[in-house]
Amino acid sequence: MKFPSLPWNRFPFNINFRSHARAIRLTVLVLLLGLSGYILYLDITIREAFEGRKFALPARVYGRALEVYPGLKLTPAQLVEELKTVGYHEDPEPEAAATYKYTLNGLEFTTRDFVFGDGPQAAQHLRIEFAEGRVSLLQDRGSADVDLPLLRIEPPLIGGIYPGHNEDRALLKLEQVPKPLIDALVSIEDRKYYSHWGIDPRGIARALYKTLSGQRIEGGSTLTQQLVKNFFLTSERTLTRKGTEVLMALLLEMHYGKDEILETYLNEIFLGQDATRAIHGFGLASHFYFDRPLERLELQEIATLVGMVKGPTVYDPRKNPELVLQRRNIVLQEMVRLDAITQAQFVEARQKPLGVIHRAPTGTSAYPAFLQLVHRQLQRDYREEDLRSEGLRIFTTLDPRVQRQAEQALSQRLADIEKARRMTARTLEGAVVVSSTQHGEILALVGGREARYAGYNRAVDALRPIGSLAKPIVFLTALEHSDRYTLVTPLDDSALVLKQAGTSDWKPQNYDHKYHDHVQLRTALAHSYNVSTARLGIELGVDNILDKLPLYGIERRPPSFASSLLGAFELSPVEVAQLYQTFADGGFRTPLRAIREIVTADGRPLQRYPLNVDPVAAAAPVYLLTNALQGVVREGTAQSLGNWLPAEMNVAGKTGTTDDLRDSWFAGYTGDRVAVVWVGRDDNKPSGLTGASGAMTIWGEMMKNIEPEPLLPTMPEDVELVNVDPVSGLVYDRECSTAVVIPFIKGTAPTETTPCADVATILPTDESPVIATDVKSEAKPEMNQTPEKSWLQRLFN
């Protein structure tokens, strides 16, 4: 059988003609395949980029929600301030959400719908009245007014964070974007945006011509192309890149609607550089250049931002204000030409100055230090993928009112101190932490005197020797040995030389460079005597004392030297706050918290940080310690705190001063607040301030404005109050006008009695200590104070 001749048998004869056509066909096929593969690749790439940006919603961080109820200490002005913070505005008919109006005795207002961590709360029409500095009436306005027991106002939004990225954005929804901005953008950048398919052929042709004729590639980019370019930012300007860009723009328009693309553009476009941080999106740019959210920008400010799209490096309003002003006015002109604004609006806007703030804030939040703490807590507690869940809502403990007082007290007092002491301005730095006594919630955190600017967060990161702030640990350990120590136990304050292995001889000195023979335990703490404290600590055992630090929530282990008892070890202000929180709360340790709960976008609780307490010290010794710390303020190193706070406040506190006056500390508590202030210099040079002349004055100024509750600790059942002779520490045999009332753990009061010589009537009255009333006066440093007063003088304290 003969096989029919097959075509390929003839192949060699027709090679010139047939193979040519085939080769071309093959090449085209391969090219087409390659091209579609490439397009597919581009398609995947661009969609990934787009989807990634589109859904990167930040976690929203809220401060504490103000709880309002009849009886609450609150003034109309304070309420209005709170309402303004959460975006309410005045309206003669306050029926719409987030509006208010003043009435004769208070306010009428309407809240918003809001989903709290524990569920939704519907908008309410309300009436509130005030009397004598308190809320006297809270009603739901309706056909019949109903008294309400409690109202929770929406919490203030204090920032947005990308827990996963550590990137700052102020993301916008298209409906949030002011219409003039979109008009301006379309007018000046891409007039045919709403009709083209992603590219503008005429623009491309022009660009192509210019490139081929050897000129620079420029212009012709639609908003879609610009967005594509922005996703893959390179400075490369080649034809292939341009080709890729065109293809991607077409693909993008195939997949997504105009509004979606525009929204992403508005959030993505590059608008400036802040050191290592790129400013992307109009939301962030609005904060960066005008320190306001986009919704609150004026027409000419919007035009400025739109003008900068052309080239934010050249059109940088801080570097080239003239150029930017010209460009802004071109944008305005184009807007009026296309009837996007009226002639009158144009004339008015054109006359306005640029209005760009001189120095950029470092973020979109007014509370960078607090936000950083929140961020760190998140990083500690979560895996990154858990945090990618979009739109998390984080409810925190920040109280904007307390925070404001803390910031103001710090910046104002530091400036005053520098002025009064003729120091170079901005030499001093400081940090403040305020927490709530019984809940351990961090209400305010100030990381430096310029609280608005993120940077070195001293409240959390500055590790400084704590000096005498460590002494309460020694004294509490002593008081826990109630068989050996009471508040009146005499301590030896004579010269001490300690030889320790591994270190040179240690000779602690008192601040006044004197020794005081024998002093009562409470007096040694009140006047912060170093020598008697060191002797007491050595008697108790250095390690026995330092080993207790973890109980109070301090993880760092100071070196086992006796000098550690006098605070020769470093802690951050927030750690000191944790330490004093236990003293303030009767021996219960509550871990400090910045976050209450985290809720997913659909309202599902992701994590709660419940209130936990741990009894780590017996109530009675802590009660005695608090009494001694009240003595520090009443008659010891912090006596001048009386310039800020009345004696009835019964503040307990401790000053801390380190070698060569490098660090000035004050830690203390009232009935409801624990606060720590540190002042010093970033270069660690001497600040010239004692605890009392620096940090304490800030503490006092801040607390005065916070209006805390007085400190009235509950007396434990195993404590009794005894009248003793302040000098001898012996119990009086009868009621005596010279007695001081000292708490003792039952059964530990001195058994010896002393006769009462009631001589109060012959006291010279001019010897009573003068409590200064001039609040502005500089507090006295510790060294100027009488170290020990006679019992006659103390009688009047």
Partner 1 sequence: MNRYSLIIIFALLLVGCASAPMQAPAASTLPDAAPQEPLPSPTGDGVTEPEPVRSGNPAVVALLDRARMDTGAGNRGAAGASLERGLRIEPRNAWLWHELAQLRLASGQYAQAVSLARKSISFAGGDRRLQAANWRVIGNARVAQGDSAGAEQAFKLAAEFEPVVPTEQPATGLFGNP
CA distance 68 to 139: 11
Among 352, 388, 608, 789, binds partner 1 (CB under 8 A): 608
Site string for partner 1, 399-438 (x = CB under 8 A): -------------------------------------xxx
Q: Among residues 436 and 785, whose Cβ is nearest to partner 1?
A: 436
Among 90, 91, 118, 348, binds partner 1 (CB under 8 A): 118
Q: Does 7 bind partner 1 (CB under 8 A)?
A: no
Q: Does 102 bind partner 1 (CB under 8 A)?
A: no
Residue from 590, 575, 589 nearest 466 by CA: 575
Q: Does 140 bind partner 1 (CB under 8 A)?
A: no
CA distance 616 to 629: 19
Q: To the nearest whole angstrom, how small is the minimum distance from the Cβ of residue 401 to partner 1?
A: 14
H-helix or E-strand spanning residue 396: strand 393-396
Amino acid identity at 713: P
Among 710, 756, 783, 794, binds partner 1 (CB under 8 A): 710
Q: Among residues 437 and 523, whose Cβ is nearest to partner 1?
A: 437
Name the one residue in this structure whose structure tokens are 């009868």. Answer: 734
Among 390, 709, 733, 767, binds partner 1 (CB under 8 A): 709
Q: Among residues 393 and 596, whose Cβ is nearest to partner 1?
A: 596
Q: Among residues 492 and 597, whose Cβ is nearest to partner 1?
A: 597
Q: What is the 3-state secondary structure (H, E, C) of 141-204?
A: CCCCCEECCCEECCCCEEEEECCCCCCCCCCCCHHHCCHHHHHHHHHHHCCCCCCCCCCCHHHH
Among 100, 370, 583, 588, binds partner 1 (CB under 8 A): 588
Q: For residue 453, give both structure tokens.
A: 């600017």
Q: Among residues 347 and 712, whose Cβ is nearest to partner 1?
A: 712
Q: To the nearest whole angstrom, how small is the minimum distance from the Cβ of residue 439 to partner 1?
A: 6
3-state secondary structure of 278: strand
Q: Among residues 516 and 589, whose Cβ is nearest to partner 1?
A: 589
CA distance 515 to 511: 10
Q: Does 612 bind partner 1 (CB under 8 A)?
A: yes
Q: Does 71 bind partner 1 (CB under 8 A)?
A: yes
Q: Among residues 436 and 640, whose Cβ is nearest to partner 1?
A: 436
Among 149, 257, 353, 764, binds partner 1 (CB under 8 A): 149
Q: Does 619 bind partner 1 (CB under 8 A)?
A: yes
Q: To the nearest whole angstrom, how small is the minimum distance from the Cβ of residue 438 to partner 1?
A: 4
Residue 86 CB neighbours (<10 A): 20
3-state secondary structure of 604: coil
Site string for partner 1, 346-375 (x = CB under 8 A): ------------------------------
Q: Among residues 135 and 158, whose Cβ is nearest to partner 1?
A: 135
Taking CB under 8 A as the criterion, which residues in 10-69 touch partner 1?
67, 69
Q: Does 605 bind partner 1 (CB under 8 A)?
A: yes
Q: Among residues 253 and 672, whose Cβ is nearest to partner 1?
A: 672
Is the separation of the CB atoms in 357 and 304 below 8 Å?
A: no
Q: To the nearest whole angstrom, how small is the minimum distance from the Cβ of residue 744 to partner 1?
A: 19
Among 18, 20, 22, 73, binds partner 1 (CB under 8 A): 73
Is the separation of the CB atoms in 509 and 534 below 8 Å?
A: no
Q: To the nearest whole angstrom, how small is the minimum distance from the Cβ of residue 714 to partner 1?
A: 6
Q: Does 214 bind partner 1 (CB under 8 A)?
A: no
Interface stretch with partner 1, choices 325-333, 386-394, 545-553, 612-620 (CB under 8 A): 612-620
* Torsions phi, psi for 711 (to 5 deg): -90, 110
Among 72, 123, 551, 601, binds partner 1 (CB under 8 A): 72
Cβ neighbors of 306 (< 8 A, separation 6 or more) are 181, 184, 185, 188, 189, 331
Interface stretch with partner 1, choices 350-358, 513-521, 634-642, 705-713 (CB under 8 A): 705-713
Q: What is the secondary structure of 506-566 as a DSSP string?
A: B----TTS---EEEEHHHHHHTT-HHHHHHHHHHH-HHHHHTTGGGGT------SSGGGGG
Radius of gyration of the chain (CA): 35
Q: Among residues 282 and 552, whose Cβ is nearest to partner 1?
A: 552
Q: Does 500 bind partner 1 (CB under 8 A)?
A: no
Q: To the nearest whole angstrom, how small is the minimum distance from the Cβ of residue 614 to partner 1?
A: 5
Q: How many residues bind partner 1 (CB under 8 A)?
A: 40
Interface stretch with partner 1, choices 112-120, 451-459, 728-736, 761-769 (CB under 8 A): 112-120
Cβ neighbors of 526 (< 8 A, separation 6 or more) are 628, 631, 632, 634, 635, 636, 637
Q: To the nearest whole angstrom, how small is the minimum distance from the Cβ of residue 586 to partner 1?
A: 6
Q: Among residues 316 and 441, whose Cβ is nearest to partner 1?
A: 441
CA distance 14 to 552: 96
Among 597, 718, 720, 778, binds partner 1 (CB under 8 A): 597
Among 586, 636, 668, 787, binds partner 1 (CB under 8 A): 586
CA 337-339-341 angle, to 5 degrees, is 100
Residue-wise over 603-619: b if at least 16 C-beta within 10 A, else e?
eeebbebeeeeeebbbb
Q: To the nearest whole angstrom, how small is the minimum distance from the Cβ of residue 148 to partner 1?
A: 9
Among 63, 94, 117, 781, binds partner 1 (CB under 8 A): 117
Q: To the nearest whole angstrom, how small is the minimum distance from the Cβ of residue 653 to partner 1?
A: 20
Provide the 8-state DSSP code for 603. Answer: S
Q: Among residues 12 and 71, whose Cβ is nearest to partner 1?
A: 71
Q: For residue 484, give both structure tokens.
A: 């050996």
Strand 731-732, strand 753-754: pairing: parallel
Q: To the nearest whole angstrom, how small is the minimum distance from the Cβ of residue 557 to partner 1?
A: 24
CA distance 206 to 266: 26
Taking CB under 8 A as the criterion, which residues in 620-649 touch partner 1?
648
- Would you name the residues annotated as active-site residues? 189, 468
Question: What's the first-to-final CA gap in the chain, in angstroms?
Answer: 132
Q: To the nearest whole angstrom, how small is the minimum distance from the Cβ of residue 630 to partner 1?
A: 16
Q: To the nearest whole angstrom, how small is the minimum distance from the Cβ of residue 70 to partner 1?
A: 7
Interface stretch with partner 1, choices 35-43, 146-154, 361-369, 550-558 (CB under 8 A): 146-154
Q: Among residues 263 and 585, whose Cβ is nearest to partner 1?
A: 585
Strand 595-599, strand 652-657: pairing: unpaired
CA distance 488 to 62: 48
Residue 752 CB neighbours (<10 A): 9
CA distance 110 to 126: 6
Q: What is the secondary structure of 640-664 as a DSSP string?
A: GGGGTS-GGG--EEEEEE-GGG--E
Site string for partner 1, 712-731 (x = CB under 8 A): x-x-x---------------
Residue from 723, 701, 711, 619 nearest 670 by CA: 711
* Torsions phi, psi for 119 (to 5 deg): 130, 170
Residues lying near partner 1 in the complex (CB under 8 A) are found at: 67, 69-73, 117-119, 132, 134, 149-150, 152, 436-439, 441, 586, 588, 596-597, 605, 608, 610-615, 619, 648, 671-672, 709-710, 712, 714, 716
